[in-house]
Copies of this chain bind each other. A is one copy, B any other.
Amino acid sequence: VDGTDLWLGIDLGGTDIKAVAVDCDGRVRWARAIATCAPEGRDAVVARLLSLMATAAGEVAPARVRGVGYAIPGILDLATGTVELLTNFTPDWTGFGLKDALEQGSGTPISMLNDVRAATVAEQMWGGGRAYRNFICIAIGTGIGGGLVLNGELYFGSRGAAGELGHQTMDPDGPRCNCGNYGCLEALASGYAITRRAREAIACGDVQLAELLGSAEPEPHQVAEAARQGSAGACRIFDEVGTFIGRALANLVCTLNPEAIVVGGGISRAGDLLIDPIRAELARRTVVFSRERGGVEVLESPMGGQGGAIGAAAWALRQSADLATWTHVS
């Protein structure tokens, strides 16, 4: 990496920690991923984060790292950088001053954001949202989350929790969600819902799907592959899932009147299998809006699964005092 200014973004995931260094145009100039080992507990994970920061500082030299941002898969107190809730991690994270610990351990100031909100910032600065003042970003992975850019700014809501698109009730009598409610979009249409639907289809006697998948707990990408190989059952799963997502987005379109929706997250790599039914249901459910108001664009994220890390770097760039640079960028 040459001498240009870089921003480091670190995405703390339940399985992997992804780090990228991006330049002021959002190009990834360095990337690294390590295992999180979340069950080893908080202190072990923090040590791995600090070690990764040290590695980055060494490997991206002689470039100047102008800022460091973190993307966190949970609820933060944005003012203090304290963790309020981190699902899929050990309980000792709750109430932990993560920002302070990382800043003291590394001697570097850090900015911090929820991971899907970070991915939204990545789309705004360098991805599918660049052309829009108002857009919805939906991240479809193991769970479903999102972020909103309204009037050109990331919208936080009263307690920084805006964007929990996955917990809209789409079927009041639907399956139980991890949040305790029933029939949330996440329970009906996320990665784990795709796995559950495939398992149920096989249990109901879909022999073709069983043969194509060859597993009792198929990964969503395997179900997508089965659909591409001609499994009617797998195609139906993506149709149903995409229809629920399209309906949830249609409801938000009525309320928020955005120009665009950016679809990201690991499951979005299913491509047209997912995007086609999303577009169809959106058109069906926003009749008035499509006709009178020019409709809404649906775009696939170009971030290739690095949206959280790139967005953490983007947020660091925007938080950095060097606003002249950012103004130059945008």
Contacts and interface: CB of A to CB of B under 8 A. Distances in A.
Interface string A170-193: 001000000111000000000000
A328 interface: no
A293 B258 contact: no
Interface in A291-328: 292-294
Contacts of A250: 168-169
Interface in A129-164: 132-134, 146, 148, 150-151, 153, 155-164
B134 A157 contact: yes
Interface residues of A, number: 50
A158 B287 CA distance: 17
B258 A158 contact: yes
Given A155-B151, A168-B251, A172-B247, A161 B257 contact: yes
For this chain, the copies found in one complex come to 2
A167 B257 contact: no
Contacts of A155: 150-151, 256
Contacts of A148: 255-256
Contacts of A286: 167, 181
Nearest to A162: B257
Contacts of A161: 257, 289, 292-293
A158 B257 contact: yes
Nearest to A260: B158
A109 to B, nearest CB: 26
B259 A169 contact: no
A252 interface: yes
A59 to B, nearest CB: 38
Given A75-B292, A159-B293, A179-B287, 10 more contacts: A75-B293, A134-B157, A157-B258, A160-B257, A161-B257, A163-B255, A169-B247, A180-B287, A180-B288, A181-B287
